[in-house]
Structure 1
Amino acid sequence: MQIMITHGRLARTRVLQLAPWQLAFLVLLLAAAMLALSGAIYHFIFLKAARDGWPVVSQLVKLVVKDEFAQRDRFMRENLDAMAQRVGEMQAKLIHLEAVGERVSGLAGLKPEEIKPASDTQPAKPGEATGPGGQGGPFIPSGRPSLTELNRAIDWLDEFSAQRADVFTMIEARLFEEQMKSLMVPNTKPVEGHTSSGFGFRSDPFSGRSALHTGLDFPAPTGSPIMAAAGGVVVRAEAHPQYGNMIDLDHGNGLVTRYAHASRLLAQQGDLVKRGQVIAHVGSTGRSTGPHLHFEVLMGGVHQDPAKFLTNDAPAATAVAERPSRGRNSRVARSVAAVGIDATPAAP
């Protein structure tokens, strides 16, 4: 493409040679300049005229952009209404969550004063009076809310949710603490099966005289697994003249369980064991008449009835413990040999 430029006075002609790609680039550059110019005119003249109310131009601009402003206004109103509804629903859910948190905290053993914020007050709801007198309920704006009201509501939601998160963190910590305590309570049978002799006075299987039996007896074949009734630390794992091969587990707070007459000890002193872990095998070592486990529970060095801890076995064990001893010594010795109970006196 050629463009000829002629100047009248000098009668000289200039010829410009444009390749196709140069022509296309020139057209695009011209179009971009037109768009930029029109945008600048629209922004700096027409919109300014509409805002400042120029006498003639503002009327023309309002006629041109009237529909556009109406659409924008309608869109904003619809969005504000939708946001207000969502904020109201979220606040109602948080109020419900607060009630649930208070109930759960009560079940977890937390006192009301322990879950109150440091300021001892709840964040004021948007539009709620902060003076004396109780007020409450979720904030659901009536009519069409303003953007300022929505911002206040969102700020309240943020602060309130942060407080609820802290409360549930405390509840989680307390429940975990209670769970750890339950894991340290010996309420699991150390040997599968029934008990043959309970806690209390009975006829001694060797002397025939009345004596205190300080634990529960679990008859089982030699080599049967003995499991820890709860998690704890092995404080004794040794042979004893009367208890035979025995293990003592310390569960904390002065609570100790004892496992006696084992044929083999698997845990050693200082070991940390968990509930249900096999720590020994059933035997008949020490002062015993047959293979069985003698199980004791001591609190502060004082023997307790293990049946009170082993809830699943409590009725049977209690019944055995309360059964009166009758008959001659030979009859007692035969029954003892049949079921395999021990004649272990009180612990040293």
Structure 2
Amino acid sequence: MHFIITDGWGTKSRAVHLSGTRLVLAGLTVSVALMLAAAGLYHWVFLKGAREGWPVVGTLVRWIVKDEVAQRDRFVRENLDAMARQLGEMQAKLMQLDALGERVSGLAGVNPAELRSGPGRGGALVSGRPLSAQELQATLSELDRLAESRTDLLTVMESRLLDQRIKKMMAPSQRPIHDGHASSAFGWRIDPFTGRSALHTGIDFQADTGTPILAASGGVVVTQEHHPAYGNMVEVDHGNGLVTRYAHASKLDVKKGDLVKRGQKIAEVGNTGRSTGPHLHFEVLVQGVPQDPKKFLAAGRQGPQALAQGLPAPLRR
């Protein structure tokens, strides 16, 4: 494309040649300039109209702003509602955990009311109106406080249950012989050799020679010997001054210093020492003082709480 430019008197002229590429670039440049000018004018008109309150422009600006605010409020409201539903679910689960904790606390012997600071409060997060951000924040803080309280409660219960388990493992609650029955109880009786009243410091289990003798609880073998009165004898130390004694055995399967587990075979029933027939003489000593083994064996069958109550005072903690 050719353009010839002349002045008003026709004395001077100039020829301009535009190719297709130049025309496209020129068109794009003009279009961009027009768009920028239109955008600037649009922005200036709307700002000026909004500030000065022009009737049409002011109404249009308010409508646009109102629509944007409504969209933002709707977005915030939807998120707050979703958070409220999640908080309600969390609070319901916390109530279930609370109920479970109260049931378990009975087994641990813990009163949950003693560990709570303030009156009990709860309930699902149900509201007939939309909740504000401040109300949701307050609910979150309350849930955090309740969670810390329940954590303390469960920690105490865990400690108490562990303590009961240790006591159960320590106490000689395992019957030392399966195939046999108690033929002589703990207490005063007529001595079969002298015919006089004498204190029987254990329980006799009548059984055939060779019947396995089991450790009533785990511990360390502190005595393995032949005693003039007890015959072949084993003593197991369970800690805290608690010792069990197994006497009149025909054979000993452990030696001093061995570690034994609850229910482990440590000897066999026999008729050695001061004995009138095959049987196991079983004793429980606390700080060297004979105790009635029946209390330990019966408490072991009834559960850890009964076992803890049945322990002598030096072993209760």
TM-score by length of 2: 0.67
Task: Please name the residue that 1:295 is paired with.
Answer: 282
Task: Please name the residue that 2:150 is paired with.
Answer: 164
Task: Please name the residue that 2:10 is paired with.
Answer: none
Once the 2 structures are TM-superposed, how far is the Cα of residue 70 of structure 1 from its aligned partner? 4.5
Match of 1:280 among 267, 289, 294: 267
Once the 2 structures are TM-superposed, how far is the Cα of residue 178 of structure 1 from its aligned partner? 1.2
> In 2 relative to 1, CA 241–45 (structure 1 residues): closer, same or farther, beyond 3 Å?
farther
Once the 2 structures are TM-superposed, how far is the Cα of residue 241 of structure 1 from its aligned partner? 1.9
Once the 2 structures are TM-superposed, how far is the Cα of residue 292 of structure 1 from its aligned partner? 2.2
Measure, in 1, the Cα distance between the counterparts of 2:101 and 2:279. Answer: 49
> In 2 relative to 1, CA 201–6 (structure 1 residues): closer, same or farther, beyond 3 Å?
farther
Task: Please name the residue that 1:155 is paired with.
Answer: 141
Measure, in 2, the Cα distance between the counterparts of 1:186 and 1:297. Answer: 8
Match of 1:196 among 162, 173, 183: 183
Measure, in 2, the Cα distance between the counterparts of 1:115 and 1:285. Answer: 56
Equivalence map 1:318-333=2 (5 Å): none
Measure, in 2, the Cα distance between the counterparts of 1:256 and 1:190. Answer: 14
Deviates most, 138-147 or 271-280 = 138-147
Measure, in 2, the Cα distance between the counterparts of 1:300 and 1:200. Answer: 18
- Mind listing any 5+ residue stretches in structure 1 that lack a counterpart? 17-29, 123-133, 315-348
Letter paired with 1:164: R
- Mind listing any 5+ residue stretches in structure 2 that lack a counterpart? 6-13, 22-27, 302-317
Measure, in 2, the Cα distance between the counterparts of 1:6 and 1:205. Answer: 145
> In 2 relative to 1, CA 305–80 (structure 1 residues): closer, same or farther, beyond 3 Å?
same
Larger radius of gyration: 2
Once the 2 structures are TM-superposed, how far is the Cα of residue 222 of structure 1 from its aligned partner? 2.9
Measure, in 2, the Cα distance between the counterparts of 1:53 and 1:10. Answer: 51
> In 2 relative to 1, CA 205–112 (structure 1 residues): closer, same or farther, beyond 3 Å?
same
Q: Kindly indicate whether the alpha-carbon contact (under 8 Å) linking 2:250 and 2:267 is maintained by their aligned counterparts in 1.
A: yes
Q: Kindly indicate whether the alpha-carbon contact (under 8 Å) linking 1:6 and 1:14 is maintained by their aligned counterparts in 2.
A: no
Match of 1:250 among 237, 242, 247: 237
Q: Kindly indicate whether the alpha-carbon contact (under 8 Å) linking 1:298 and 1:304 is maintained by their aligned counterparts in 2.
A: yes
1:83 aligns with 2:83: yes
Task: Please name the residue that 1:232 is paired with.
Answer: 219
Once the 2 structures are TM-superposed, how far is the Cα of residue 212 of structure 1 from its aligned partner? 3.0
> In 2 relative to 1, CA 6–289 (structure 1 residues): closer, same or farther, beyond 3 Å?
farther
Task: Please name the residue that 1:108 is paired with.
Answer: 108
1:144 aligns with 2:122: no
Equivalence map 1:1-348=2 (5 Å): 11-12=16-17, 55=53, 59-60=59-60, 70=70, 73-88=73-88, 90-91=90-91, 94=94, 97-98=97-98, 101=101, 104-105=104-105, 108-110=108-110, 115=115, 121=117, 136=121, 138=123, 143-192=129-178, 193-311=180-298
Measure, in 2, the Cα distance between the counterparts of 1:219 and 1:5. Answer: 132
State the aligned residue count.
273
Once the two structures are superposed, residues 237-292 of structure 1 have per-residue CA deviations (whole angstroms, 9 ceiling, x without a partner) of: 22212212211122333322111122332333333333212222222222223332
Deviates most, 5-14 or 77-86 = 5-14
Q: Kindly indicate whether the alpha-carbon contact (under 8 Å) linking 1:203 and 1:211 is maintained by their aligned counterparts in 2.
A: yes
TM-score by length of 1: 0.62
Aligned partner of residue 262 in structure 1, secondary structure: strand
Once the two structures are superposed, residues 169-204 of structure 1 have per-residue CA deviations (whole angstroms, 9 ceiling, x without a partner) of: 121111110111122222221001312222234443
Deviates most, 88-97 or 180-189 = 88-97
Measure, in 1, the Cα distance between the counterparts of 2:2 and 2:207. Answer: 119
Letter paired with 2:212: P
Deviates most, 104-113 or 274-283 = 104-113
Q: Kindly indicate whether the alpha-carbon contact (under 8 Å) linking 2:271 and 2:279 is maintained by their aligned counterparts in 1.
A: yes
Aligned partner of residue 310 in structure 1, secondary structure: helix
